[in-house]
């Protein structure tokens, strides 16, 4: 289905921008139902395997996950790492470009807290954000950027 040259076509298509608008350009990379969920998971867990990402509550499909990981990797938001214990496993982590999406993730959380009913766990996370948003963002980014 999706072989190397098909993928290249998709990737090249994504490089051709609908407009010069920053919002539009961004949505072309991660404006779908799944990509920010992957960013979310890597933000909270630092390094995850393909299998870890498959097991989330939202139950992403294998082909969608594979496709999104390749897109995010090719756009420089995530990178693959060698797994310390197993050649069969791949680890993914955010790049600095991906880490820079944390303020977006934080603002989405704040918006959602206002309009959705959330679990106590999510509520306490958001309470923590609200105590000092900028500090939360900075700490999260620093934590993710060190090895």
H helices present in the chain, as ranges: 4-15, 22-30, 35-45, 50-54, 62-74, 96-99, 102-115, 120-131, 133-145
Q: How far apart are CA 59 and CA 43, in angstroms?
A: 18
- Spell out the residues 6+ positions from residue 88 whose beta carbon is closer than 8 angstroms to its own: none
From candidates 116, 131, 146, 147, binder to its own copies by CB under 8 A: 116
DSSP state of 91: E
Among 38, 39, 43, 69, interactor with DNA by CB under 7 A: 69
Q: Which stretch binds its own copies (CB under 8 A): 63-71, 79-87, 96-104, 138-146?
A: 96-104
- Smallest gap from Cβ 59 to DNA, in A, equals 6
- 16 counts as binding DNA under rule CB under 7 A: no
In whole angstroms, give the CA distance from residue 69 to residue 50: 9
- Closer CB to DNA, residue 3 or residue 146? 3
Burial class for 5, CB neighbours closer than 10 Å (0-12, 13-18, 19+):
exposed
Does 25 engage in binding with its own copies (CB under 8 A)? yes
For the segment 75-94, give every residue that binds DNA (CB under 7 A). Answer: 80, 83, 85-90
3-state secondary structure of 93: strand
Q: Site residues (CB under 7 A) for DNA?
A: 1-3, 10, 32-34, 49-51, 59-64, 66-67, 69-70, 80, 83, 85-90
Q: Site residues (CB under 8 A) for its own copies?
A: 18-28, 31-34, 36-37, 40, 56-59, 97, 100-101, 103-119, 122, 126
């Amino acid at each position: 289905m999706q072989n190397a040259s098909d993928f290249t076509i998709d990737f090249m298509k994504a490089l051709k921008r609908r407009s010069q608008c920053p919002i539009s350009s961004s949505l072309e990379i991660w404006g779908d139902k799944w990509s920010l969920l992957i960013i979310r998971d890597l933000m909270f867990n630092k390094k995850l395997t393909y299998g870890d990402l498959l097991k989330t509550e939202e139950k992403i499909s294998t082909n969608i996950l594979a496709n999104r990981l390749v897109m995010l990797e090719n756009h420089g938001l995530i990178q693959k790492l060698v797994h310390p214990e197993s050649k069969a496993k791949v680890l993914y982590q955010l790049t600095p470009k991906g880490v820079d999406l944390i303020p977006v993730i934080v603002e989405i959380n704040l918006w959602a807290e206002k309009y959705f009913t959330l679990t106590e766990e999510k509520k306490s996370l958001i309470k923590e954000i609200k105590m000092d948003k900028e500090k939360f963002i900075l700490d999260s980014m620093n934590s993710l950027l060190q090895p």
